[in-house]
Amino acid sequence: MSTPVRLLAFAAALAAVFVLALVGARTLLPADLAQAGQDRTGHSSSNPSEKDSSMDHSTAATPSAQHSEDSHDEHGQAPAADPVRGLTVAQDGYQLGSLTAPAVVGEDGTLSFRLTGPDGKRVTDYTTAHDKDLHLIVVRSDGSQFRHVHPSIDGAGTWSIPWRWAAAGSYRVFADFVPAATGDTLTLTSTLEVAGDLQPVQLGADTTESTVDGLTVTLDGAPAAGTSSMLIFTVTRDGTPVTTLQPYLGAAGHLVALRVGDLAYLHVHPMDDPTGKSGPEVAFMAEAPTAGRYLLYLDFQVDGRVHTATFTTTAR
């Protein structure tokens, strides 16, 4: 591991200790003093959102959920944990609908959909995150056939992109976006069925190495349940470190992480290298909502071409 990344890991560890200290202090304060502290600042603490920097594929809490984390209900019971993202077709009044695509393998066509807001009207105003107004993730239910693309929107609020299926199966489609009206990241999902000769892909053992287009990517680290941990990806070609990684979507790499079984999103934040290097290492902070197995998809760019390295890992 290089010195800059080790410094990043050390800084992340110090940050975690600081947060734990704050949480502990809050727990030991009497309720009236804790409330007084909130009144002086005007708000309670909350998780960072993508609108502050770069878009993460995270379990960001809504304002109401963040408030509930610092309180109990009228019966004195602690609230349930915030739901993870990417499991529902509608949230906070926003809904993914009118999803269509070619119905069979090998047929050229268009994948299209619409997003509507709480007023029932199509959403046309978005906040750009990671260089795009919307990120579309398409993956088969067994975790194969992953695609991360960026459709275009017309004046009527319909998103579309030319599409052709390479394999049959049941697919999850995720629309990841930030409505300008709220500034909060949403990940809505729906399903498409593609006819053809189905060849399922069985999930194998955990992996720490992935080879794609002559490039080898190794993974150091694993997500942990309920806490943040660092994931470091190192890119090499024929054993030689690749130091010519090009920015992709505003960062050295872009990571999508999905929980095996329901394909829920993990909490992932890219970490910038303070030295400004362009590889061979790309680091992320990840937080798994539960123990279990997860699929990782790393997009990175070399020589003007985007490559996707895939991994399977286990959070404990």
CATH of the domain at 246: 2.60.40.10
* DSSP 3-state of 287: strand
The tokens 């050229």 sit on which residue?
A: 108
19 belongs to a structural domain: yes
Residue 98 neighbours by CB under 8 Å, 6+ apart:
112, 113, 114, 158
pTM metric for this prediction: 0.74
Q: Based on the fold, state whether residues 188 and 214 are members of the same structural domain.
A: no
Q: Based on the fold, state whether residues 213 and 311 are members of the same structural domain.
A: yes
Q: Based on the fold, state whether residues 252 and 306 are members of the same structural domain.
A: yes
Mean pLDDT of the chain: 80
Work out the pLDDT band at 197, boundaries 50, 70, 90: very high
Whether 20 shows a pLDDT value over 90: the answer reads: no
Q: Output the six-digit token pair for 259.
A: 């929980």
**Checking DSSP bridges between strand 152-153 and strand 158-163, what pairing results, if any?**
antiparallel
Stretch 179-201: mean pLDDT: 96
Q: Based on the fold, state whether residues 311 and 277 are members of the same structural domain.
A: yes
Q: Based on the fold, state whether residues 118 and 27 are members of the same structural domain.
A: no
Full residue range of the structural domain in which residue 12 is found? 3-49+58-69
Q: Based on the fold, state whether residues 220 and 292 are members of the same structural domain.
A: yes
Q: Based on the fold, state whether residues 310 and 219 are members of the same structural domain.
A: yes
Domain count, the chain: 3
Stretch 270-296: mean pLDDT: 87
Minimal CA–CA distance to 206: which of 307, 118, 292, 98? 292
For 213-228, what is each residue's pLDDT tens digit? 999 999 999 999 999 9
Question: Which of 194, 220, 241 is the last residue before a domain boundary?
Answer: 194
Q: Based on the fold, state whether residues 227 and 297 are members of the same structural domain.
A: yes
77 belongs to a structural domain: no
Amino acid identity of 243? T
Q: Based on the fold, state whether residues 145 and 109 are members of the same structural domain.
A: yes
Residue 220 neighbours by CB under 8 Å, 6+ apart:
1, 208, 231, 232, 233, 234
pLDDT above 70 as % of the chain: 72
CA 198 to CA 206: how far, in whole Å?
Answer: 24
CA 140 to CA 17: how far, in whole Å?
Answer: 39
Q: Based on the fold, state whether residues 129 and 221 are members of the same structural domain.
A: no
Count CB-CB contacts under 10 A for residue 153: 17
